[in-house]
Every structure is written in structure tokens, then in C-alpha cells.
Amino acid sequence: MKIFIQNQQDKVDVAEHISKIIEASVANTIKIFLQEENFEVSVLIVDNNLIKELNRKYRNINKETDVLSFPIFEFKNGQLQEDIVIVEDEIPLGDIVISIEKALQQAEEFGHSLEREVAYLTVHSVLHLLGFDHIEEDDRKVMRKYEEQILDSMGLTR
């Protein structure tokens, strides 16, 4: 499994342990649903200004958000919905964009660590890459169950 992390902001110090948390969050989420380990995910760490711009461009919502997911393949609740031909060693699942600035604000607001907030946002976003959503209440409950299960397994409880 390959996880590419790039920091494109300078407002919040992103120490190496934050990258390790992102890697563990991606890996632990993917392993629940996919047996293979030949997947890759790219994670871009940005500030509120850039995520607002991306949110406006790709979702037509002109405000900052905490995380965006850009899946490459169509999944539904962790199941691939299309046949894919593997031509590379790794299959790209998609891209994740995290506003570390927003994550820090939310960690302070919710009274927990930046590490827990980054792990939550990463798990949440990987679940989106895997076709989970939270628009309908039943879907939201399923997604929340997986989020808490994965965070608990990482020792990042509320």
C-alpha cells in the first residue's frame, strides 16, 4: 500500500507523527474492506484558503471545509462497483485533501487532540473513497460506526 502525503501549507506545523497518523488511518480503513494491499492514496494537507477554493471549484460551495475526497473508482459501501484492469503495481483509490488549519480549529472546539481530529478526517475521507456516504440517516449511522471502530482500534477514542 502506498500513501503519498504532501504538505502545501505553512500555517500549522505538521510534525512527522501527523503523517504517521494519516498513514495508519488510511491503512486501517482500507484493510477492513479490501483484501489486497496494492492500493495507493494521495493526501494533500492544505490551509483554509486552499480548501475553500477547491470546495468552490469542485462542489460549487464557496466556504471552507475540513476534508474533501476525490475517488477514482465507484465503490458502494466498501464494494467495488466496476471491473478494473490492473496495469500498475498499485491501484489508485483517490485523493484526499485535509485542511490542517480547520482540523486544529475543530480539535480545539471538540476538546480533543489534533491527532484524533486528523485521524477522524482521514478515516472519514477514506470511507468516502470506498463509497460510503452520510446523506441519509441510515447511511450516516453505518459510516459513524466504522469511523468509531477504526479510531478505537487505533487508541484514538473521544
Q: Give residue 81's pLDDT band: very low, low, confident or very high (50, 70, 90).
A: low
Flag whether pLDDT at 95 surpasses 90: yes
Neighbours of 97 (CB within 10 A): 23
Q: How far is CA 132 from CA 6, 52, 55, 147, in A?
A: 25, 23, 19, 11
Interval 42-63: pLDDT, tens? 999 999 999 999 999 999 999 9
Distance CA 48, CA 99 (A): 6
**φ and ψ of 80, to 5 deg:** -65, 130
Q: Which domains does the chain have, with CATH numbers?
A: 2-153 (3.40.390.30)
Binding site per annotation, positions: 124, 128, 134
Binding site per annotation, positions for Zn(2+): 124, 128, 134
Flag whether pLDDT at 79 surpasses 70: no
